[in-house]
Amino acid sequence: MTRKFFGTDGIRGRTNEGVMTAATAMRVGQAAGRHFLRGDHRHRVVIGKDTRLSGYMMESALVAGFTSVGMDVVMTGPLPTPAIALLTREMRADLGVMISASHNKFEDNGIKLFGPDGFKLSDEDELEIEAAIQSDQKLAPSADIGRARRIDDARGRYIHAIKRSVPSDVRFDSLKVVVDCAHGAAYEVAPSAIWELGAKVITLGVTPNGRNINDGVGSTSLDALKAKVVEQGADVGIALDGDADRLIVVDETGRTVDGDQIMALIATQMADRGQLKGGGIVATVMSNLGLERFLQSQGLSLERSRVGDRYVLEKMREGGFNVGGEQSGHMIMLDHATTGDGTIAALQVLAALVRSGKKASELLHLFDPVPQLLRNVRYAGGTPLDNDRVKAVIAAAEAELAGKGRLVIRASGTEPLIRVMAEGDDAAQVEAVVERICDAVQAAI
């Protein structure tokens, strides 16, 4: 079945256009609600959101959909995506919903769904809901319509849960930390958790107004954080994205530490303590070859998955791994969370700094990345990767890089983009390969 609504990470798009309208959100609520009406108990869904202006509209529409099919709704207000996954499981809800477009600008919004176990839905569940959205759903009798209420203790529950990921004998009193919350969902909980563990916290991106989420701040816009870290003489900077499921770090000199370096740190630290499961970690095809070589030098493996944290998670569960993530900063630590959690990952980085007594610049750059180049080609329709000329250029590039690098070509799951990535020891060769492929794709378009 061709997907009309669900992409790599739930449903996402420009608000009030295409699939991201209030009418569609109500139908999603009805379809997902009916899908999870199993058994004779009173059914419940937990709904959270980030700080986008459209979150109120989408929340109201989803509430209407869920209650109309007989599901009770618990609303948390702005909270990180991993908090909704946690609360879904802890509150014995049948379903969890996060209203967020992650790192996108405020004009976009999205809907992410979690099952009763706190994990993102399987492809099979999404396909069934996808079909149900496009058909009429049976509504509940008047006496069985669901109720909706807001809860006030959701933030406290989440803060308490993530603090437990840090051993009780580890305190952050020696650290000065800049925490950039992207004017997003973690604007209260992330600084609070880090401060409660003893750190001196300097905040950035904690004054959301509905329109400024991810605007010049957060994990995809690091300049403000870098400047603040250096200006304040901080030990480290923490950057989350709009829904706080990803993390990028800045060391005390202002240098970026991406998801690959963070995974290398967490994996080796856990391996040293005998806590790493599966003999390595899971990352996507986009993670740098340097990470793979470094892990091999430490006797650890790197298993690769498709792009998307849900596919990382699938491979982790299949192989018994407890650490996985993406270069972009999604960090999944299954001992503590069922999905990517930027704040939990940040706490592990801060704990490692305390244990080592080293500066961030000494501890957080464990390997030298090989030259890697990613370019995007936007297209309006069709399947340019099926073009014979494009296939021939890609095949030639793969032969050229054989044994010296890697090539990853894919269509984005969330935007109309062809992503072309190459890496290898020769930077000039990598750039030339990417140029040729992008030119071929553009010509096909």
Burial class (CB in 10 A: 0-12, 13-18, 19+), 368: exposed
Opening angle at CA 303, ends 300 and 309, nearest 5 = 125
d(CA 236, CA 250): 6
DSSP single-letter state for residue 59: H
Burial class (CB in 10 A: 0-12, 13-18, 19+), 209: exposed
Catalytic-residue membership of 356: no
- Residues 209 and 50: beta-carbon distance below 8 Å: no
d(CA 440, CA 384): 9
Closest CA to 373 of 324, 345, 338, 408: 408
d(CA 259, CA 387): 33
Closest CA to 368 of 258, 271, 262, 294: 294
d(CA 94, CA 66): 12
How far is CA 8 from each of CA 85, 308, 415, rounded to the nearest angstrom?
A: 17, 6, 10
Opening angle at CA 415, ends 413 and 416, nearest 5 = 105
- What strand order describes the sheet that includes 44-49? 6-7, 10-14, 108-114, 95-99, 44-49, 72-78, 148-150
Q: Which of 54, 68, 100, 102 is catalytic?
A: 102
Q: Which positions are catalytic?
A: 102
